[in-house]
Amino acid sequence: MRLMLGILIASIGLSALPVKAQVADTQVGALVEALRQAAPKTGKVDDGLYSDWQIKPGNIPRWSKRCIGREMTIPEFESNTATARQVLVCVMRNIMQEEYKASGNNESLAVRRAASWWMTGNPNFYNSGTTNTYTQKVLDFYQKQRSGVTASSSSSTSTNTKPVTQARPPQPPAPRVAASSVQVADTQVSALVEALRMAAPKTGKENDGLYGEWQVMSDNIPRWSQQCTGRALTPSQFANSPVTARYILVCVMRDVLRDEYRNSDKNESLAVQRAAAWWMTGDPTRYSSNETAPYTQKVLAFYQDLRSEKPAQPAQATQPAQPAQPKFLPHI
């Protein structure tokens, strides 16, 4: 399903949106994840669309330049999901704000209009033809993502009695919210959070007392979610909403990475290992201890892969040529 492929549109730019409507980061994150889940599978290796979001190649350098300050290559964008997600959150935040205003603050309609913009370049097509089916699909995925935040606590009571595993060291309490003179980039924090997910130990037990793809101990979840979203989530709500979980963990680990960046004399690799030791044991100084070093090295390896600016994957030679576009393109 590729609608209006190759259409050139003169759409709104990221820097020129006088938008008053405000949407939450969790809403934008849920929309970006819904677009990923709804991305059509063409069944072709060389279909001219890239990454989990199936994006046209002409958009990637322009959007990455605007959102992270440098142009990403197509292979780099495909191989770095954390940064790709950050770029798309940046792009879709303004689109969602604009469509929220255009829909009279109707969240469902705003999502469908934003999905129509993503597919065709025109938000007004949200209810027409095959676009209607696609925008409804995006809305369904969006609502499932958001249900992890809005579901009532009573719906997960039966799953909250998981025993705590003794095989994993207890995770520390929520970090203090402290201003730091050391600044780390959002891409660094995102890469760290993704590396922690990839390095999460698999216990092989269903009821291991750890929740979400990051394997977080249940005691941390209400405190961290309250700190970062203003609402205490249950472990089941956290586990059922990966987008919200990622947002919370980026919030938590941003301060941790800043502190460890400062403590390591701005040595990025050491800061990541210290942050990983904090995550695993609560003590960043244990990053090189016998029992923790293999884990912190594993996190660092994943982090470095994510941060690599020169991935080995070659650009696809058979992608269709695209004309130069001044602004955004539809995608599918």
The DSSP code for 50 is B
Residues 163 and 205 sit within 8 Å (Cβ to Cβ)? no
Both tokens assigned to 328 = 């955004």
Residue where the block lists tokens 């994957």: 313
Query: Which residues are paired to 210 by β-bridges?
Result: 217
The DSSP code for 125 is G
Residues 20 and 101 sit within 8 Å (Cβ to Cβ)? yes
The DSSP code for 216 is E
Alpha-carbon Rg for the chain, nearest whole angstrom, is 21
The DSSP code for 70 is S
Q: Give tens-digit pLDDT for 313-325.
A: 333 323 333 333 3
107-to-132, 233, 238 alpha-carbon distances in Å:
16, 22, 22
SS3 content of the chain, % helix, strand, coil (to 5): 55, 0, 40
Indicate if the pLDDT at residue 166 is higher than 60.
no
**What gap in Å lies between CA 85 and CA 119, rounded to an integer?**
17
Indicate if the pLDDT at residue 18 is higher than 70.
no
DSSP E strands: which ranges in the chain? 210-211, 216-217
Q: Give tens-digit pLDDT for 227-263.
A: 787 788 899 999 888 888 898 999 889 888 988 998 9
Greatest Cα-to-Cα distance within the chain, rounded to the nearest angstrom: 61
pTM, whole model, 2 decimals?
A: 0.48
